[in-house]
Amino acid sequence: MASIIKRSSRGTTKYEAAIRRRGGVSVSKTFSSRREALAWAATIESEIARGVFVDRTSAERNTFGDLLERYQREISPYKKGGSLEILRIQRLLTDPLARIKVATLTGAHIAQYRDRRLAGDMKRKAVSGSTVNRELTLISHVLTIASKEWGVHVHVNPVSQIRRPRENRARTRRLGDDEEKRLLVELEPNREDVARGYGPGGCRGCRNEYMRPIVILAIETAMRRGEILSLRWDDVHLEDRYVRLHDTKNGEARDVPLSSRALQTLAELSAKHRHIGGRVFPVSVEALKQSFVRACERADIADLRFHDLRHEATSRIAERLDNPLELSAVTGHKTVQMLKRYYHPRASDLARKLG
């Protein structure tokens, strides 16, 4: 039998229902009336007797924000792209979704979150369907880990109950005729900025001397942002004209050949100074993103993302390496289908080949 304990404090009376059974089942809950306490106790005892009892204490006690904070401490740091995921979690922690108890979290709450992100508001701009889908995938995985490994009861993952927004169309953005030149001009050292104390690079407005060589390397090698930022001098082989990537997106190491321009860029950077930690580009993902956005704004270049440089590089390299196997060896794509998503030949270039 359950025990009902009456507790009074400062003129308020509460009733605690407690159930303790042999075999480790020990649960309790407090109610404002004795009738509610008895009804809850009867339900729990029936579930125990039928062998279907599930402890909901953790789900009732923890908010979704509590799960997010634990996930970013215990899971995200060990994932590829973990730093970006932590930024995504920090944004989620400011959303009303984070304040909802896990036990009461439903598909309707997730749908409201989806719609808020797609519509935007006064504080945050609207985001694309692809961005929302990545966030929904993260929310779903947090709840799955909590249910399987942390003992938090999630009867049905609410993300599985809603409609996902439509994915964006694949991007085909390439650099225009003079966009590369304008962008690199805005990343050149500026004496006036150096004089104002912006550091040895004196990068116009971005204060980051590594941005120009990073952009050149991206255009020349088709390396991903994370691959460029994780590059270490021990893996740069200037004499043999290649760099070795140990930690790539597909999990396999890759040797990336260096064009003459890429080789010169790394050689010049090596001759200046090397970071004490051994990284070629000691720059954070967020710093790179902000610097690139500002440089595009100053160069009056619209709708260009850093990842578009990988599309540009793949398309340029394809003009020199017409063998798909050789091309995929450079870019790291494992299938021809994925490679095709990054190859965007200009119609004018194809017309010239046709004669």
164 among known catalytic residues: no
Q: Is the dihedral of CA 298, 304, 307, 308 positive or negative?
A: negative
Catalytic entry in 88, 204, 310, 311? 310
101: DSSP letter:
B
246 among known catalytic residues: no
249 among known catalytic residues: yes
334 among known catalytic residues: no
Catalytic entry in 224, 225, 294, 311? 224
CA distance 76 to 85: 7
Catalytic entry in 71, 210, 342, 343? 342
Buried b vs exposed e over 111-124: b needs ≥16 C-beta within 10 Å? Answer: eebbebbeeeeeee
Catalytic entry in 164, 307, 340, 346? 307
Catalytic entry in 21, 182, 249, 305? 249
Catalytic entry in 117, 294, 311, 333? 333
CA distance 76 to 305: 24
353 among known catalytic residues: no
List, edge to edge, every strand of the sheet that includes 236-237: 236-237, 242-245, 254-257
333 among known catalytic residues: yes
Q: Which two tokens stand for residue 5?
A: 């304990």
Distance of CA 4 to the CA centre of its chain: 48
Beta-carbon count within 10 A of 201 CB = 19
Active site residues: 224, 249, 307, 310, 333, 342
